[in-house]
Amino acid sequence: MKRVLTNLLAFSGLTLLMLSSCKKNDELVTTNGGTPGTLSASTTTPVLDKTQLTDTSKIVTFSFTAPKYTYNAAVTNTLQIDVAGDNWAKPTSVTMGVKVYSQGYNTNDFNNLLLKLGILGGTTTSVNIRVQHALSSSVITYSNVVSLTVTPFNLTSWIWVAGDYESWNNDGGGLDSLVSPTGNNVYSGIINIPAGGTLQFKLLPVKGSWSVAYGDAGGGAISTSGGNLMAPAGGGQIFITANLNNNTISIEEADYYSVIGSDFQGQSWNFDNAMKYVNDGNGNWVLKIPMIAASGGGFKIRQDDQWANSWGLSSTTGILTDASGGNMTISASGTYTITFNMAPTKYGTAAVETAPYTITQ
pLDDT tens digits for 178-224? Answer: 999 877 889 999 999 998 778 999 999 999 999 999 999 999 999 99
- For 6-22, write each residue's pLDDT tens digit: 444 444 444 444 444 44
CATH of the domain at 291: 2.60.40
C-alpha 16/C-alpha 246 separation (Å) is 89
Residues 294 and 337 in one domain: yes
Which range marks the domain in which residue 263 is found?
257-360
Q: What share of the chain is helix, strand, coil (3-state, %, to 5)?
A: 10, 40, 50
Q: What is the 3-state secondary structure (H, E, C) of 7-56?
A: HHHHHHHHHHHHHHHHHHHCCCCCCCCCECCCEEECCCCCCCCHHHCCCC
12 domain-assigned? no
In the chain, count of helices (H) and strands (E)?
2, 26
What is the C-alpha to C-alpha distance for residues 173 and 285, in angstroms, rounded to an integer? 19
In a domain, 5, yes or no: no
Average pLDDT over residues 266-294: 92
Shared-domain flag, residues 170 and 106: no
pLDDT of residue 32: 53
Q: Are residues 43 and 142 in the same domain?
A: yes
From 134, 150, 166, give the residue that closes a domain: 150
- Residue 43 lies inside a defined structural domain of this protein: yes
At CA 37, angle to CA 31 and CA 42, rounded to 5? 170
Do 226 and 169 have their domain in common? yes
Q: What is the mean pLDDT of the chain?
A: 88
What is the Cα–Cα distance from 122 to 115, expressed in whole angstroms? 11
Q: Which helix or strand (DSSP H or E) is residue 333 part of? A: none
Of the residues 150, 182, 201, the one at which a domain ends: 150
Q: Are residues 45 and 146 in the same domain?
A: yes
**pLDDT, mean of residues 18-37:** 52
What integer pLDDT is reported at residue 98 of this predicted model?
81
24 falls within a domain: no
Q: Are residues 346 and 264 in the same domain?
A: yes
In a domain, 28, yes or no: no
pLDDT at 116: 85
How many domains does the chain divide into? 3
Query: Is 32 among the domain residues?
Result: no
CA–CA separation, 111 vs 152, rounded Å? 6
Cross-strand partners of 61: 104
Residue 199: give its domain's CATH number. Answer: 2.60.40.10
Q: According to the model, what pLDDT value does residue 124 have?
A: 95
Instruction: For Cα atoms 96, 97, 99, give the angle at the middle one, nearest 5 degrees.
Output: 105
**Predicted TM-score of the model (pTM):** 0.65
- Report pLDDT digits (tens) over 137-167: 778 899 999 999 999 988 888 999 999 999 9
Q: From CA 286, how far away is CA 283, in angstroms rounded?
A: 10
- How sure is the predictor about 33, in pLDDT bands with cuts at 50, 70 and 90? low
Where is pLDDT greater, at 127 or 117? 127
Q: Are residues 137 and 164 in the same domain?
A: no
Same-domain pairing of 202 and 128: no
List, as own/partner pairs, every contact residues 91-100 make where C-beta atoms lie below 8 angstroms and the sequence separation is at least 24, other chains included.
92/116, 92/117, 93/132, 96/131, 99/66
Q: How far apart (Å, rounded) are the C-alpha atoms in residues 151 and 130?
A: 19
pLDDT value, residue 19? 41
